[in-house]
Amino acid sequence: MNLTSAPQIRTLLAAHGLHPKKRLGQNFLIDRNVLDRIVDATGAGQGVNVLEIGPGLGVVTRELAERGARVVCVETDRELEPVLKDVLAESNVEIVIEDFLKLDLHEFFQSRSGGKWVVAGNLPYYITSPIIAKLIEAKANVSAIVMMVQREVAQRLQAAPGTEDFGALSVFVQYHCGIQSVMRVSKNVFFPIPDVDSEVVKLTILETPRVSVQNEQLFFKIVRASFGKRRKTLLNALSSDDNVGWNKDQARAALEKAGIDAGRRGETLSLEEFAGISDAG
Ligand code: SAM
């Protein structure tokens, strides 16, 4: 069965009495070129472990397995299980039916030995951030994440300080990962056609974070506080945040020690400058 053919997907769904579920972001990929580029970006081959989140009808899954990778896929929609079993009948793929956000990732990796995992995912866009956060939390077991994301999210991930798209998500992901745009993807390569254009990005987990900080928790509290109140100066943002817990004098002293003008706004700061404030605190 050609899973990049819309008519064949329609037939497959009809044979199982199914319709794409909008609430689960079920827009299935129907483009051979995009499929190849995603699978190429994972580096799938013999000896590579791939965890795929949201396999849908198995279009990416089957290709990953055909390249020789060990593949485990996690799909939340139980109704897709028979389809996946059908499509992947000849492939050596483990199918896990569960909401990825509820999956115990620690247990998942512990019970499947064999080194690090590459993650592949084309998921509903409203859960992109929690999924990335969950994977980065488990980064000891993850080498890279190849993900289809909404174009705007791809811009935020890659944004530089001082630009409109630069925010707490940019800092969080840039701190932990190298970020590469694999390709831009038109909404027309999905069935049914979604509302937004997409981009495939590859996040490669860095061996050591991009900047060194003495207290990672404080670093991220400062980042969140700085972006939480975008119109405030750094001095006001950092001295009015319960999580950071600094009064005006403490915030002023930390900024001065780090050599940062207290009147600047958070979105203009580089990761090194955030690290400087954090280490001065
Ligand atoms: N990978 C397939 C493709 O490219 O055609 C399907 C992509 S479709 C955009 C998203 C898939 O993620 C759907 O199959 C959906 O049921 C599944 N999904 C949605 N939320 C999920 C979650 N929390 N955990 C696991 N899978 C999820």
56-92 tens-digit pLDDT: 999 999 999 999 999 999 999 999 999 999 999 999 8
pLDDT of residue 113 exceeding 80? no
Minimal-distance CA residue to ligand 1 atom 5: 28
Q: What is the pLDDT of residue 33?
A: 98
Q: Which ligand 1 atom sits closest to the C-alpha of 3?
A: 5
Residue 163 is encoded by which pair of tokens?
Answer: 């630009």
Give per-residue pLDDT as tens, 6-37.
Answer: 999 999 999 999 999 999 999 999 999 999 99
Q: If you measure from the C-alpha of residue 100 to the centroid of ligand 1, how many angstroms do you get, rounded to a whole number?
A: 10
Q: If you measure from the C-alpha of residue 49 to the centroid of ligand 1, how many angstroms do you get, rounded to a whole number?
A: 19
Q: Rounded CA gap, 66 and 225, in Å? A: 46
Q: What is the pLDDT of residue 231?
A: 80
CATH code of the region 6-205: 3.40.50.150
Q: Rounded CA gap, 63 and 74, in Å? A: 16
Q: Which ligand 1 atom sits closest to the C-alpha of 100?
A: 24
Instruction: Report domain extents, the chain.
Output: 6-205, 216-280
Q: pTM (2 decimals)?
A: 0.96
CB neighbour list of residue 60: distance below 8 Å, 6 or more residues apart: 29, 35, 38, 39, 52, 120, 122
pLDDT of residue 150 exceeding 90? yes
Cα of 75 vs its chain's centroid, Å = 16
- The four Cα atoms 234, 239, 240, 246 give a dihedral, to 10 degrees, of 140
Minimal-distance CA residue to ligand 1 atom 4: 29
* CA angle at 163 for the pair 160 and 164, rounded to the nearest 5°: 130
Fold of 216-280: Helicase, Ruva Protein; domain 3 (1.10.8)
